[in-house]
Structure 1
């Protein structure tokens, strides 16, 4: 039931974003980015606990439509390349969030703030001492700030959290992965 409610919430946000963009009749633009995730920590409920995560690379695609009064709305997709947990056995995992976004541009300034909310898929392999039977995604959220370096280049820093669930040795365990991301992007 919790997953179904989350999916309906995200669908409603997406429909709102698309309808707002249609009503605004303003052309949107794509923003493609590459991000470096560092300072990551994964927290797995149950016996495993928490552990640090190696630095990872994320590929990002977003479609944004200027709305009004400095607001920009849109949606995006992030693909996190597999990253390793700092533990023996080199366990790997990845998330792929799909999200709605809202961005506020400060007037006469290259700076902006943004928030993201969505759902992510989750995959995990080879957790030492545990049998990973199944994985499922969960809530994704992020907040950050950015700067327009030029008309076509952006730089951002953000804090994000990915939530998921894994069946470890037959027990369903919740987990969350929090990190800091620095990214560079191209708008077109």
Structure 2
């Protein structure tokens, strides 16, 4: 699949992440993998996806290091697709996307919820700073800043340590 990434976004972690997982089928395949699906026919049956599309998406997920292709049968050769550590590290992203979707639905309209595996109680996932435990949902308290590898353009974009760019109106 040709890259849709703009040249100026190549160093942006959001852009590079979307390059790996931003395609519709990719997210659904990963979701199924988190639910324990590993075999081609399982993905195909559950997602009702064409053979060619599933083959292409699985190849990309393997090439990106998110899934590992493992032989589970010799004759005929059959493979399963298992999440790698890199792939498993995407679970919070998938959980956050599902939670965001549910946030905009009435409780009775939710077809899938996240629950505690022991108690069965519904949980509400939040993203927190590991050091302080503070929720990062507060857009005023946490902002993006240029990192150590930032280009001149990225440093310019995030020059203001409070996250405001030149030319943007100050709401205060």
TM-score (norm 1): 0.21
Q: Bigger relative contact order, structure 1 or 2, given CA contacts below 8 A and separation 6+?
A: 1
TM-score (norm 2): 0.22
* Between structures 1 and 2, the one with greater helix share: 2
